[in-house]
Structure 1
Amino acid sequence: MPYPPYTRSLRDGYALRSADVTGASPTSPVYLSFRGEIPMGTFPEKPLLDGEAIAIHTGGILPRGSDGVIMLEDTMESGPWIEVRKAVQKGENVIFQGEEVKEKEKILPLGSQISCRTIGILATMGITTVPCAVLKIGIISTGDEIVDSAIDPLPLGCIRDVNSWALETLLLSKGYMAQRLGIVSDQKDSLRSALYEAFEDFDVVLVSGGSSVSVRDYCSELFQTLPQPGLIVRGLRMSPGKPVLIAGISDRKKLVLGLPGHPLACMVAARMVLLPLLGRLLGYTSTNSQSFFPVAVHTDLAGRTGIEEFYPAKIYKGGVLPLPAKSGYIGILKEADGLIRLDENTETVRQGERVDFMPW
């Protein structure tokens, strides 16, 4: 089905033949025979003849024979005549049948994400159900020091769960089905039980915390015991977010990621590693969500060679301003519009030089 399905007007005015009003102007108007009105929601059966004009509303269907619309303010009704004070080009104020989508044209390729940007074209084609690939994602927080966010007052030596809320919100905003699965203590058996229980209901399991090299961080050891392929990635050359673990179970089609416990590091890893990986699993054809743009930086920025670094930054006066942050920060995200990336070969960027910037 083509879109639009009919040739339609983009303005209130009169449908006409552009050849009939060539050279029309306020000082030399052209007079056309007024043929009435096209009511909204109706299809004009009779074609428009030479020298005729017919009133039409925005979104109305043009009659055969017409190829343009003169706006109402450029005309004057005078008895049986319409005085046209401006020339109209063919296609002016009109969207032609099939102009945007041709007959039998593919509207969404396999791997497209159904979102506010794509659902409109489906609706206009009358497509209200679409087979979709769906990933169910479970989120586990680990740590003896982690307590539920609703706990008040906060027990001494403890911190409230942040990462599961932030990860769930991020994933939901991207269209994924995500669910927080609670807090698990730093006990190997407890973590193993929680992980295998999550595998029963979820395709992807995220474990926040427990991915570093502490003697009580058991994720790496546990992921190594998973069936093939087991642990695939142990740490990445990125900062913050270095202690990322990636593992899987091929025959059960399960993916599990260990993400850093520090909130900023966790969210950077989620944005830069988790989201692209989930997109690949679903076969997304668009990479726009992972695009960086060259933007001038407002201050000197010192980097380290040999590691890819990410800095929260805000858009400021046509450039970006890096925000001082540590991997354990979380409130910094409310100030940041996105991330600056310095690749592993960049050591220092001077004020005014361009950096790669990616909006959240």
Structure 2
Amino acid sequence: MTDDRGVSNGTETPDLTAVADHQARIAALLTTTPVESRPVAECLGLALAEDVVSPIPLPPFDNSAMDGYALRSVDVAEAAEDQPVELPVSEDVPAGRIDVPPLQPGTAHRIMTGAQMPSGADAVVPVERTDGGTERVRVRASAQPGAHVRRAGEDVTTGATVIPAGATLTPARLGLASAVGIETLRVRRPVRVLVLSTGSELVAPGSPLRPGQIYESNGLMLATAVRAAGGEARLLRFVPDDVQAFHTALAPHLDSTDLVLTSGGVSAGAYEVVKDALRGNGIEFTKVAMQPGMPQGAGRYRGGPTVVTLPGNPVSAMVSFEVFVRPALRGASGHDDVRRPVRRAVLTEPLTAPRGKRQYRRGLFDPSTESVTLQGGPGSHLLSALADANCLLEIPEDTTEVPAGSTVDVMLLD
């Protein structure tokens, strides 16, 4: 892996690029994905492209909220524990019965939760307030009109927008779509991402390490981050440090890829294969005013898919993904919520930061006290601290010292 020195080389700009400018560049490179229809069961995590309008009310009919007895409230107005009212039970109404007879005055229907209310009944008495009779029932409590009755349209009315376009489809939203009878949804196709893992020093986890080798982790980390953000990821591992091998590995995937995501090989070393392969092929390299993650690159590979090159140190790669790639990926996929939530938190210990660079530090946010504690130092190789963190502290470029007790912005992670 390479370091984060970001020394100017080739097409790099001589000055530092602002974080916001590089964010805008990557967002502009990723175009919005097309709309497609998918079965509701296959839409988890996708962005809805068109409003879901309910064709029915929800509930679709008046139904019982309890196991008990459907009756007229006037018939049990005098009922009490020491003075029960006895009524004949004329029908059983289980959930799903569609031929529910009307209720006659002075009678009760035994009814189950979710079953359709009979016409003529205006209340349900829970079975716990009766003797549970099947032919005649002794009711030991009165009931107000509407008691334990779910009214048709109480949750959703016909023609109501139940899920707006741009919403991320969660399990609850998919359940709602099914509840109003929707079988397929119009969604944005996920961004198709090829995560390219380069480096002759990389080996697969589980293999024995030889001197000078390390286990490949960035590819897996970034591919799973893509999937967590709502994209489709393919991981192409163990591309050697060879320019021709890089192009050869990339070629079969160009027509089926929206974004190529690389990590490493973009700094100032002698074997920066990613930079060597992409220079002159539409990719511009720059140094961004941030720590970690200064060396960056972006463009369109030979006029085709977007390429974003991230630094090789694992923390630099992951922070860069969060700052630049994730919001662009979610925006291109049609999501409304493209950015992580940001909270204000009280810093529990002092920190220092380099002037002229926006620093991202790993932290542990405590929502009960609205405070944040640093996790590990600023080193871009300290992956264990990132694994323990649930937020990133964002320290502005013009800030060099932040005393304990100061309020800072924290970007909440999953």
TM-score between both structures, scaled by the size of structure 1:
0.81
C-alpha deviations, 1:191-232, integer Å up to 9, x for none? Answer: 3333344313322111111233434325456545335xx53x
Match of residue 94 from structure 2: 39
Match of residue 350 from structure 1: 404
**Number of residue pairs the alignment of both structures matches:** 353
C-alpha deviations, 1:243-275, integer Å up to 9, x for none? Answer: 2322225964x2211112111221222233222
* d(CA) in 1 for partners of 2:69, 2:344: 47
Which of structures 1 and 2 has the larger relative contact order (alpha carbons within 8 angstroms, sep 6+)? Answer: 2
Match of residue 26 from structure 2: none
* d(CA) in 2 for partners of 1:356, 1:214: 33
| More displaced stretch, 62-71 vs 271-280 | 62-71
Task: Give the aligned CA root-mean-square deviation in angstroms.
Answer: 3.4
Task: Say if 1:295 and 1:357, in contact at 8 Å, map to a contact too.
Answer: no
* d(CA) in 2 for partners of 1:327, 1:22: 73
Q: Flag the 1:292–1:85 CA change in 2: closer, same or farther, 3 A.
A: same
Task: Say if 2:376 and 2:382, in contact at 8 Å, map to a contact too.
Answer: no
Structure 1 residue 165: Cα displacement:
1.1
C-alpha deviations, 1:14-60, integer Å up to 9, x for none? Answer: 33456766797657766666443211221253344555543322222
* d(CA) in 1 for partners of 2:324, 2:314: 15
- Is 1:266 aligned to residue 327 of structure 2? no
Q: Flag the 1:94–1:137 CA change in 2: closer, same or farther, 3 A.
A: farther
Q: Flag the 1:83–1:333 CA change in 2: closer, same or farther, 3 A.
A: same
* d(CA) in 1 for partners of 2:364, 2:351: 14
* d(CA) in 2 for partners of 1:357, 1:102: 38
Structure 1 residue 139: Cα displacement:
1.1
C-alpha deviations, 1:142-169, integer Å up to 9, x for none? Answer: 22332333431x1212211110111122
Match of residue 165 from structure 1: 220
Structure 1 residue 316: Cα displacement:
4.7
- Is 1:194 aligned to residue 194 of structure 2? no
Q: Secondary structure at the match of 1:313?
A: strand
Q: Flag the 1:255–1:33 CA change in 2: closer, same or farther, 3 A.
A: farther
Match of residue 114 from structure 2: 59
Match of residue 286 from structure 1: 337
Task: Say if 1:249 and 1:255, in contact at 8 Å, map to a contact too.
Answer: yes
* d(CA) in 2 for partners of 1:99, 1:188: 64
- Is 1:103 aligned to residue 154 of structure 2? no
- Is 1:136 aligned to residue 189 of structure 2? no
TM-score between both structures, scaled by the size of structure 2:
0.72
Q: In structure 1, what residue type is equivalent to 2:380?
A: S
* Identity level (%): 26
Match of residue 331 from structure 1: 384
Q: Flag the 1:63–1:183 CA change in 2: closer, same or farther, 3 A.
A: same
C-alpha deviations, 1:44-81, integer Å up to 9, x for none? Answer: 53344555543322222223344543333234457734
* d(CA) in 2 for partners of 1:74, 1:199: 69
Q: In structure 1, what residue type is equivalent to 2:402?
A: T
| More displaced stretch, 238-247 vs 163-172 | 238-247
Q: Secondary structure at the match of 1:198?
A: helix
- Counting only pairs closer than 5 Å after superposition, residues 201-240 of structure 1 correspond to structure 2 as 201-220=256-275, 222-227=277-282, 230-231=283-284, 234-240=286-292
* d(CA) in 2 for partners of 1:14, 1:270: 58
Give the gaps of 5 or more residues in structure 2: 1-54
Task: Say if 1:139 and 1:179, in contact at 8 Å, map to a contact too.
Answer: yes
Q: Secondary structure at the match of 2:321?
A: helix
Q: Flag the 1:212–1:88 CA change in 2: closer, same or farther, 3 A.
A: farther
Matching residue within 155, 159, 177 for 1:122: 177
- Is 1:80 aligned to residue 136 of structure 2? yes
Q: Flag the 1:34–1:327 CA change in 2: closer, same or farther, 3 A.
A: same
Task: Say if 1:21 and 1:88, in contact at 8 Å, map to a contact too.
Answer: no
* d(CA) in 2 for partners of 1:344, 1:27: 76
- Is 1:312 aligned to residue 312 of structure 2? no
Q: Flag the 1:18–1:125 CA change in 2: closer, same or farther, 3 A.
A: same
Structure 1 residue 182: Cα displacement:
1.5
Q: Secondary structure at the match of 2:319?
A: helix
| More displaced stretch, 64-73 vs 197-206 | 64-73
Q: Flag the 1:274–1:53 CA change in 2: closer, same or farther, 3 A.
A: farther
Q: In structure 2, what residue type is equivalent to 1:336?
A: A
Task: Say if 2:375 and 2:386, in contact at 8 Å, map to a contact too.
Answer: no
Structure 1 residue 186: Cα displacement:
2.9
Give the gaps of 5 or more residues in structure 1: none
